[in-house]
Structure 1
Amino acid sequence: MTRKLLIIGLHIASLFFILRSRLKSLTLMSQTTHSIIMVPPTDFCFNHETAQDNEFQQTPDSPHYLVKENALEEFNVMVNQLRDHHVEVLLLNKHHGEPEMPDAVFPNNWFCTRPDGTIDLFPMKTPNRQVEVRPQALEKLLTHNGYQVKQINDHRDSNGAFLEGTGAMIFDHRHNKTFAAISERCDAELLAKYSALRDYETVSFNSASSNDTPFYHTNVMMSIGEQFAVICLDSIKAPKQRAHVEEQLKQSQKEIIDISFEQAEKHFCANLIQLRNQKNEPLIVLSESAYNAFTKEQKQKLEAHGKLVPCDIHTIESVGGGSARCMIAENFLPKQ
């Protein structure tokens, strides 16, 4: 009898382990999504507050109204392109009475979503970007489109330190890693705390441009897809840090596509994002400038991981100092 009970107990334990493993696999985060949130550049202009540490913003020659007009046209064309490629694009529009938000077109910095129904809000550095954080409007948009919002976690009480979302942090979701370049917008302590909260390993490093200025966001020098990583390795000037980042990417079996300073700084070649559309087809969204700046060999490597979707966003890139990835906030929330 004791032997039979022992065998039954072992079977129950085995079944429990299998069930737990399956439940865990169901909650694993995909690297890509078919649904994204974008914000129209209603107030778009040169942002003097962010220019303090974003060396890639260029003062426009055109009058303000024309800059905004061009940005809106580029945005609308990009949205239509993505929808034509069967990506769900949810638009978070500005409402009457809300303050001026010159950089609202870059929403990935103030929130991210998770498949458990969670939305995380992040502390932004400049006052005119802090007003972009509109959780009620975001929740309303998402629930209206059939997504579950179970909890909103507000990480903004940060004692003057900043962690600007998926601009600061590059996630390798399938391997539970957070890659991040420390900067004024990526505080090392907040980074470690948030990564630990998600149970992700932190891979932090220092990265600087060809002018020896820290990259304001990690996603200007690095991006990660399902099986590839685009990165400006030369910008990680400490040999031990660079070797560590390479090793971590290789451990995750990522094909490394190394880009030059010029490709990163002048053409935003690292500021791209891999999606999977509603047909489960892989896409890689990038700017037209980035597409033209990749070498033939680099394009071939990228095309092995998804169809390239180049978007003409030259006004947004030059005046805003950000590119295609910055304009896209992924929606990983579950359906209601």
Structure 2
Amino acid sequence: MITRDPEAFLHAFAALPYTAARPATARAAFMVAPSHFGLAGESAQDNAYMRMQDVVDPQRAARQHAALAEALRDDVPVVTFPGIPDAPDAVFPNNVFATRPGALVVGRMRHAVRRREALRTDIRGFFRDVLGYEEIDLSGPSQPVAELTGSLVIDHARGVGFCGLGERCTEAGAAAMHRAFGLQLTFCFDLAPGEYHANVLMTALAGRGVLLVPDGFRDSAAAEAVARAYEGRVVMLEAAQKERFAANAITLDPHRVWMSGTAASSLSPAQCAQLERLGFRIGAVELDEIEKAGGSLRCCVAEIF
């Protein structure tokens, strides 16, 4: 079921309890090193989080990225692919590549500078020839724009997707991702003006709760529906914390949520205590150099289910 109606979503969500039959977190992850890191002006057209006025230090970005990969390996195996020329923001592979058990999904990016990433034969070959995954290719020119787990936040334990609609994901794109990921329910909502991805507005915490920034939803009723669905298990974030990427987080282990140092430092003691009550400790890695490109920790990590 795909719906934009908050009440229809809540009714359907109530019938999809958390279940151990579906993996709540990934079994591995992959990243793309900032080998040719920079700020892509084309991407900045609709990414207000990019700091185009700042000077980028590629070597510092590389050190921070390597430290992130090392830290995440405490939770899951991590594979790192090299960056490619003429793709300065290819460091955010989760928009282009994502998986469900047994299948690689390749998304359709809005901007040409990002579409180059979808052509990578090494990443496609790794999943096809090494892991034996089926390939679901949504990247062709006739496909609707759908920027995968940038636009779509997934509660894997329930098979539920939360899809932010805007310039980087159309309704047709949401429907294509719903099918590709084999979801049981997708709740679509319009992003507020100036927002580009749902994954800066919310994080699904291994099926046991959510980080949520209501400020980024065009319609407050949609944000309220998400909060009602996870009633008692919602860590509400302020607009200022969104700007510090506090909702751009990921759970690779059922008991740890990873976010950038910038994001973690923005959390209040009460919010940290909420996460602790939900059974999560916080892992943090400094990524402020990479954050100049308009994404943070979650954007750097593509999950392997």
Q: Is 1:269–2:269 an aligned residue pair? A: no
Q: Is 1:154–2:143 an aligned residue pair? A: no
| Gap change, CA 1:160 and 1:121, over 3 Å in 2 | closer
Aligned partner of 2:281: which letter? K
Q: What does residue range 274-293 of structure 1 map to in structure 2 within 5 Å? A: 274-276=251-253, 282-293=255-266
Aligned with residue 223 of structure 2, among 236, 242, 264:
242
Contact 2:31 2:301 in 1 (8 A): yes
| Gap change, CA 1:245 and 1:170, over 3 Å in 2 | same
- 1:51-81 superposed Cα distances (whole Å, 9 cap, x missing partner): 000001002543xxx6211111111121222
What's the TM-score, normalizing by structure 2? 0.86
Aligned with residue 233 of structure 1, among 200, 211, 214:
214
- Residue 35 of structure 1 is matched in structure 2 by 28
Q: 1:158 offset after TM fit, Å?
A: 5.5
Give the whole-Å Cα distance in 1 for the aligned partners of 2:81 and 2:20: 27
Contact 2:36 2:85 in 1 (8 A): no
Give the whole-Å Cα distance in 2 for the aligned partners of 1:200 and 1:135: 30
Once structures 1 and 2 are overlaid, which stretch shifts more, 227-236 or 133-142? 133-142
| Gap change, CA 1:249 and 1:192, over 3 Å in 2 | farther
Aligned with residue 118 of structure 1, among 73, 96, 103:
103
Q: 1:27 offset after TM fit, Å?
A: 10
Q: Which has the higher helix share?
A: 1
- Residue 257 of structure 1 is matched in structure 2 by 235
Contact 2:161 2:183 in 1 (8 A): no
Aligned with residue 59 of structure 1, among 52, 57, 63:
52
- 1:112-153 superposed Cα distances (whole Å, 9 cap, x missing partner): 1121x1111110111111111145311444578xx6323101
SS in 2 for 1:131: helix
Q: 1:93 offset after TM fit, Å?
A: 1.8
Aligned with residue 308 of structure 1, among 282, 293, 303:
282
Contact 1:183 1:214 in 2 (8 A): no
Aligned partner of 1:217: which letter? H
Give the whole-Å Cα distance in 2 for the aligned partners of 1:26 and 1:205: 25
Q: 1:33 offset after TM fit, Å?
A: 2.0
- 1:162-217 superposed Cα distances (whole Å, 9 cap, x missing partner): 11010000011222211011110011122023314524312111232xxxx24101
Contact 1:206 1:214 in 2 (8 A): no
Contact 2:48 2:194 in 1 (8 A): no
| Gap change, CA 1:26 and 1:72, over 3 Å in 2 | same
| Gap change, CA 1:283 and 1:106, over 3 Å in 2 | same
Q: What does residue range 57-96 of structure 1 map to in structure 2 within 5 Å? A: 57-62=50-55, 67-83=57-73, 85-94=74-83
- Residue 294 of structure 2 is matched in structure 1 by 321
Aligned partner of 2:287: which letter? I
Q: What does residue range 101-112 of structure 1 map to in structure 2 within 5 Å? A: 101-112=87-98
Q: Is 1:190–2:173 an aligned residue pair? A: yes
| Gap change, CA 1:163 and 1:28, over 3 Å in 2 | farther
What's the TM-score, normalizing by structure 1? 0.78
Give the whole-Å Cα distance in 2 for the aligned partners of 1:26 and 1:264: 30
Contact 2:146 2:177 in 1 (8 A): no
Contact 2:27 2:77 in 1 (8 A): yes
Aligned partner of 1:162: which letter? V
Contact 1:92 1:141 in 2 (8 A): no
Give the whole-Å Cα distance in 2 for the aligned partners of 1:229 and 1:202: 16
| Gap change, CA 1:28 and 1:113, over 3 Å in 2 | farther
Unaligned regions of 5+ residues in structure 1, if any? 1-24
SS in 2 for 1:120: strand
Give the whole-Å Cα distance in 2 for the aligned partners of 1:88 and 1:134: 24
Once structures 1 and 2 are overlaid, which stretch shifts more, 254-263 or 319-328? 254-263
| Gap change, CA 1:90 and 1:306, over 3 Å in 2 | same
Count the aligned residue pairs: 285
Give the whole-Å Cα distance in 1 for the aligned partners of 2:19 and 2:240: 41
